[in-house]
Structure 1
Amino acid sequence: MSKVILITGATKGFGRIWAEAFLKRGDRVVATGRNTVALEDLKKEYGDLVLPIQLDVNDRKAAFEAVNQAKEHFGRIDVLINNAGYGLFGAVEETSEEEARNQMETNFFGVLWLSQAVLPIMREQKSGHIIQVSSFLGLVTLPVLGLYNASKFAVEGLSETLASEVKDFGINVTLIEPNGYTTDWSGESAFQTKSLQVYDAVKAGFNEAVSTPGIFGNPQATANVVLNLVDNENPPLRLLFGSFAYPAVKKVYEERLESFAEWKSVSDEAHGA
């Protein structure tokens, strides 16, 4: 049975790849983006299977209107994929208030607004799957991506909580946590802070680390994985994407547990009698 999939940020990158994969197998797709001109070819090829909607996910009212339009058009929403987001590159000290707020508005609040908007529909259906495109940088951090890291850590906490609240309504929540991929996330879609020279060495180290051969995954390879994920009756809460994500997360979590254990007596003392 075909599903109705709502994907934000569907004009390029993961969103575009996944929208096409769903359409090719006969699912119906609500494809949103800031500029729906980039979706005209999908509409031409797949006709009534696709509903393009212009949407800025930062606009809460528009998010609710888009979800309601999708429900009215297709009658239901089986899967929400919160994919819209972008990278902000720069040291924490370099980041302006506007840059910081904009990063959180899109990467965190956009996720929140769409999730809130779709929940009444999924509760009424007694079924649904909310997929949040987070990052392995919602579990570990890299320098020069402080606000991006923070936005994805926020998505992780929100979504883990949400999963515990909606499970009894038949709604699943999954966090997709990719390592780097060869999309334009770090290219045209990215934003850069105004540089302070004192952080040049930190940035040089970052650039060297991300130049490791093979570190970036092939985004096309994720399509079948996402198709299988939405078909799974018992999907995971978290799913790492890419071969570099797991060892990076494993190393950091082992170090955290060691540090917690080392300082446990101090933690106990802080509890009091």
Structure 2
Amino acid sequence: MSSARTWFITGASRGLGYAFAEAALAGGERVVAAARNVDPLAELADKYPDDLVRLALDVSDRHAVFEAVEQAAAAFGRLDVVVNNAGGLLYGMVEEATEEQIRDHLDVNFFGAVWVAQAVIPHLRAQGSGRILQVTSMGTGGGMASVGFYGAGKAALDSISEALAMEVAQFGIKVTVVQMGGYATGLFTAGTTATTPDPAYEALRAQMAEMWGDDVGPDPATAAPVIMELAGMPNPPRRLIVGSRSFDIVQEMDQARAEQYRAWESLSRMAPG
């Protein structure tokens, strides 16, 4: 019996998802790679014809997610590592975003991951084992102008994943919130939906663009070894920051928040609750 694990990866056609799929295949694993457009996976399919199955999937479609997971489980007979990676970016100020843009964004970044989790849990529970890696962001600790909806969706996924981890631990299923740093994933290009700019925010928009700069971040492939090691740990962490620079930034953000709480401690303690 093969000891190779079966990975189910969403958003696998580019960026981090592609890098994780490639690393798993190179490590002798089997991969079911799901994406809206699976054409970019053709080269991997040619290289690993027996170990890669491509599935066209829009994770915002709950019915389609459940069908895809059934196909994924049948492809190699089981599921071992589920990577909830599919996502996009809604770029713009809160006031500018339309209802359709907001709902479409959260349908992918939050609800899509929930549908995948709901669909895979029965399979993992029946096996008595499995890993779910919830790809979020190092920026979920607080909102930031122009990318607030992205942070909100990832923060919601952070929170629901903590609850999920508590619920499924009894079944031998381990959940890790993977807080990714900034990588050259194409999120700000191919993965972006932009609002119609309101002139009232022109100065702030320019300020934010200057802060982002032109650095697109390191190659996603440099993050893949972390994911491979994480997936193999017998007792993985509940959450993990991926990226050395991002680790430092998160620590600074947490420290600033703690200092703010302390600065207003007397006001907080005026209430007995």
Deviation, 1:154, is 0.4
Aligned to 2:197: 195
Aligned to 2:241: 240
Contact map agreement 2:226 2:242 (CA 8 A) in 1: no
Aligned to 1:110: 112
Question: What CA distance in whole angstroms lies between the structure 2 residues aligned with 1:235 and 1:201?
Answer: 44
Aligned to 1:22: 24
Q: Which runs of 5+ in 2 are unaligned?
A: none
Q: How many residues align?
A: 271
Deviation, 1:12, is 0.8
Question: What CA distance in whole angstroms lies between the structure 2 residues aligned with 1:133 and 1:95?
Answer: 24
Q: How does 1:82-231 map to 2 (within 5 A)?
A: 82-211=84-213, 216-231=217-232
SS of the equivalent of 2:177 reads strand
Deviation, 1:266, is 3.3
Contact map agreement 2:183 2:219 (CA 8 A) in 1: yes
Deviation string, structure 1 residues 144-199 (Cα, Å, up to 9, x no partner): 10111110110110101111111121111111112221121111221111001111
Contact map agreement 1:138 1:155 (CA 8 A) in 2: no
Question: What CA distance in whole angstroms lies between the structure 1 residues aligned with 2:123 and 2:53?
Answer: 18
Deviation string, structure 1 residues 37-93 (Cα, Å, up to 9, x no partner): 222322222112111111100010111111111112211100100110011110111
2:58 counterpart of 1:62:
no
Deviation string, structure 1 residues 105-140 (Cα, Å, up to 9, x no partner): 000000000001000111111111100110012223
In the alignment, residue 74 of structure 1 is paired with which amino acid?
Answer: F
Question: What CA distance in whole angstroms lies between the structure 2 residues aligned with 1:224 and 1:160?
Answer: 24
SS of the equivalent of 1:56 reads coil
Deviation, 1:260, is 2.4
Question: What CA distance in whole angstroms lies between the structure 1 residues aligned with 2:220 and 2:44?
Answer: 19
Q: Which runs of 5+ in 1 are unaligned?
A: none
Deviation, 1:252, is 2.1
SS of the equivalent of 1:137 reads coil
Q: How does 1:4-23 map to 2 (within 5 A)?
A: 4-23=6-25
SS of the equivalent of 2:11 reads coil
Aligned to 1:3: 5
Question: What CA distance in whole angstroms lies between the structure 2 residues aligned with 1:235 and 1:2?
Answer: 19
Question: What CA distance in whole angstroms lies between the structure 1 residues aligned with 2:203 and 2:242?
Answer: 29
* Residue in structure 2 matching 1:44, options 31, 43, 46: 46
Question: What CA distance in whole angstroms lies between the structure 1 residues aligned with 2:189 and 2:39?
Answer: 21
Question: What CA distance in whole angstroms lies between the structure 1 residues aligned with 2:224 and 2:113?
Answer: 21
SS of the equivalent of 1:258 reads helix
Question: What CA distance in whole angstroms lies between the structure 2 residues aligned with 1:246 and 1:226?
Answer: 16
Moved over 4 A (4+): none
Question: What CA distance in whole angstroms lies between the structure 1 residues aligned with 2:128 and 2:110?
Answer: 26
Contact map agreement 2:91 2:147 (CA 8 A) in 1: yes
Question: What CA distance in whole angstroms lies between the structure 2 residues aligned with 1:194 and 1:212?
Answer: 22
